[in-house]
Every structure is written in structure tokens, then in C-alpha cells.
Amino acid sequence: MALSASSSAQQARQALAKRLADLCRYAGLTGLELAERCGWSRSKSSRIMNAKTPPSAEDIRAWCRACGAEEQTEDLIASLRTAEGMWVDWRRMERAGLRQAQEARLPLYRRTRRFRSYSSWLVPGLIQTQSYTAAALRAVQRRRGLFDDVGDAVAARMERQRVLYEGGRRFAFLVEESVLRTGIGGAEVMSGQLSRLASVATLPNVSFGVVPMTPYRDRWPTEGFWIYDTAQVNVELVSGYLTITQPSEVAMYAETFAELAALALYGADARALITSALDALG
């Protein structure tokens, strides 16, 4: 049985504690000796190594210095950030409404220069039409029983789309062919959205690919995800929002994106799939 993402977050905390304990052991130090080198109480190193007390970034820097392993400091701090913020359930993220959840991501979009997005079930938010966004967020609001600020949330997402047209940014969008045929909002909404995709694909800073529905394709199903530069990956799951910042894990998503990109169709071939989906709407 697969672990939940919240269980994965706990595992991430335990994995960080184990890595720190291993550093101490490889340096030939006991927990007491490490605590003395760091100027801590006797119990602090033990609590950290047993994942009972999470370390701070400064604790990790002191730990690595004491073990003569400064070169591992930044990766361990990235692991700490991942463990701290990798999992937020939707109830907590959206407790102040959908608008605030949309606005909270805007700083991340503004500081990112290279966006990569793979979606297996919805059109990515940056290239949604207003009507498609309204239909998608209305479904979220009803399903989760949130108070109704859908209009404001739609406006916030439309405002975020301005980054598409600001200089110095590159965007690569991959969607599964099934996304083109998912009836979000009905035929009229989907017709407008498909036309929007064809238009977005012509922007000079945008790469738009469709992964075709090929029988017997030899790959595992993949959750949708966003990659922001090389710094962060976000994944939207059924029960919450996952943030990944550890460099080795970000690299895994980048490799997966490259593999999916190699399967995708672009240009005239992608437009043909969009046209086929439009024709299917009647």
C-alpha cells in the first residue's frame, strides 16, 4: 500500500535525521562529542538524530562543520526545507479561500525564469481561459465545501498569466492528449480553451507539446507537476500540495519531463490533435 504524501513528509524528516546521524558516525564522533563541538546541551544531538527535534539551518551548518563535511551543508539544508514545507493539505492551504491560495503563488511565478509544466488531467493554469478557470475552480469550491470567492480567485489566476508576456521567461507545457478531450465546463468552454491552446503555442517563448494516446506505451503513469527553474517542483495531489526543493529530487522530475517531452508532438502535429478534439465537440 502506497504511503500518503503526509507520511512521505514524515519520512523526509526521518531521512534527514538519519543522514545527520551517518555524518556523525563517519566522522568518528559520538552524539555527546558532536554536541560538545557545537556547544549544545548533551541531549540536543540525540533528539536531532532520532527525529524528535527538527534541526534549524544553523544547526545543520554547525553539524557539518563539526563533522568536517561542509560540502554537504547546502544539500542537507535543502532537505530540511523540503521536510518543512513539502506537504500542505488543501484544508490548510485554502482555509482563507481560493483567492488567497492563488495569490500566494504569485511571488514564485515572478522570480522564475524557466517554467516546465506537465499535466495529465487539466490544462495548466497559466494557459487557461477565464471560462475554463472559472469552471475548474467552481468544481474545487463545491467539492471541498469552501466559501464562494471563485470570482476573485479567477481574477487572481488571470493576473498571474501576465508572466507569459513579460520578457526573459521561457515556458514549456506538456499535456496528455486526454486533457484536450476532458469536458471541463462543457463544449463551449472547451472549444474556447482549445482555441486558446492553439494560440499560445505560437508565442515565441512558449513550447507546447501534446503527449499522444499511444497504445502499449512503455512508461509509468505520472502525476502532473510544475518545475520552477531548477529550484522547486510542485505537485497537486488529491489530498494536498507537495513542494520539492531537494536538488536530487528536482533533477528526477526534470529527467521525467525530458522523457515526456521526447514522446510529445509539437507544431502542426500538436495542432492536428487540437483540431481533432475541437471536431469531436461538434
Q: What is the pLDDT of residues 211-236, one digit of tens each?
A: 998 765 666 668 899 999 998 999 88
- Distance between CA atoms of residues 122 and 198, nearest Å: 16
CA dihedral 178, 182, 188, 191 (to 10 degrees): -10
- Say if residues 224 and 118 touch (Cβ distance below 8 Å): yes
Which distant-in-sequence residues (6+ apart) come within 8 Å of 67 by Cβ? 23, 24, 26, 27, 29, 34
Q: Which domains does the chain have, with CATH numbers?
A: 5-85 (1.10.260.40), 88-280 (3.30.870.10)
Q: Is the predicted pLDDT of residue 85 greater than 70, yes or no?
A: no
**Residue 92 pLDDT class (50, 70, 90 cuts):** low
- Distance between CA atoms of residues 197 and 174, nearest Å: 11
For the segment 44-73, the average pLDDT, to the nearest whole number, is 93
SS (H, E, C) 145-158: CCCCCHHHHHHHHH
DSSP 8-state code for residue 126:
G
Q: Is the predicted pLDDT of residue 7 greater than 60, yes or no?
A: no
Q: Is the predicted pLDDT of residue 3 greater than 60, yes or no?
A: no
- Residue 256: all three cell numbers together: 521525467
**Residue 6 confidence (pLDDT):** 46
For the segment 194-214, the average pLDDT, to the nearest whole number, is 95
Report the chain's mean pLDDT, rounded to a whole number: 88
Q: Is the predicted pLDDT of residue 172 greater than 80, yes or no?
A: yes
pLDDT (tens digit per residue) in 132-155: 999 999 988 888 888 889 999 999
Axis-axis angle for helices 5-26, 42-49 (nearest 10): 130
- Residue 82: all three cell numbers together: 523540503
**Residue 5 pLDDT class (50, 70, 90 cuts):** very low
